[in-house]
Amino acid sequence: MIVLFALIICSSLSSPPPHARDFSFIFYLNLTSHQFYRILAAT
């Protein structure tokens, strides 16, 4: 999880095409929200 976040930060710093950066960000948000829902379901 942390590694993926660092990877996205690095890819953002290396300034890829905007659509690629947006995709990475959306992918990360989807991943975190998925984890969040799993945590909610577990409680």
pLDDT digits (tens, 9 = 90+) for 22-32: 777 777 777 78
**Structure tokens belonging to residue 32:** 């975190």
Q: For the chain, what percentages of helix, strand and coil (3-state, to nearest 5) are there?
A: 85, 0, 15
pTM here? 0.36
Please state, in angstroms and rounded to a whole number, the distance separating the CA atoms of residues 43 and 41.
6
1: amino acid identity, one letter = M
The stretch 12-27 carries a mean pLDDT of: 66
pLDDT, position 24:
74
Hey, how many other C-beta atoms are within 10 angstroms of the C-beta on 23?
A: 13
Report the amino acid identity of residue 6.
A
Q: What is the distance between the alpha carbons of residues 21 and 9, in angstroms, rounded to a whole number? A: 9
